[in-house]
Amino acid sequence: MLDAAEGLGLRESSIRVWPVGSLLKAIAESLEARFNPVAVQGEISGFSRAASGHCYFSLKDNDGQIRCAMFRRTSSLLDFTPRDGQRVELRGRLSVYEARGELQLVVESMRQAGEGTLFEEFLKLKARLEALGLFDSTRKRAVPLMP
């Protein structure tokens, strides 16, 4: 039976075996060399501020999302408070958070770009459901003791 490498026409001796940390470091260096600096626009999602002052969130649009980290110094320079659903333009650098092997954008500046379309769609849906009376407190039922 052929293994995956043989099935692709690769010999065992032609495949470099990487230690995980070295592979992630090589990927990070390739990303940094090719894409940095980078500017990207999208909507904030899952915004949280750690006790350290660092901020973590995702930036997304209809086609994808990327995890973002904004360190305390950068966040202290903002002239607004970021919030979920807000459309922003970020400038920063792509990196790999090697501890988890995740792609992230390290934010170096952020500016407002208006309300996001996903958030606007959410607000329209909420208004439509409210108009139907689905949020009316008289319609609420008690949560059963044992669901």
Q: 56 in a domain, yes or no? A: yes
CATH number of the domain residue 56 falls in: 2.40.50.140
Q: 9 in a domain, yes or no? A: no
Q: 123 in a domain, yes or no? A: yes
Q: 145 in a domain, yes or no? A: no
Mean pLDDT value of segment 31-35: 89
**Alpha-carbon torsion angle 119, 124, 126, 130, nearest 10:** 160
Q: 79 in a domain, yes or no? A: yes
Distance CA 136, CA 139 (A): 6
Q: 68 in a domain, yes or no? A: yes
Q: 72 in a domain, yes or no? A: yes
Mean pLDDT value of segment 29-58: 94
The structural domain count of the chain equals 1
Tens of pLDDT, residues 45-91 = 999 999 999 999 999 999 999 999 999 999 999 989 999 999 999 99
Can you give the residue range of the structural domain that contains 89?
Answer: 21-133
Q: Which amino acid is at 17?
A: V
pLDDT at position 90, please? 96
Q: 98 in a domain, yes or no? A: yes
Distance CA 94, CA 106 (A): 6
- pLDDT-derived band at 6 (thresholds 50, 70, 90) equals low
pLDDT at position 127, please? 87
pLDDT at position 69, please? 96
Reduced to 3 states, what is the DSSP secondary structure of residue 29?
helix
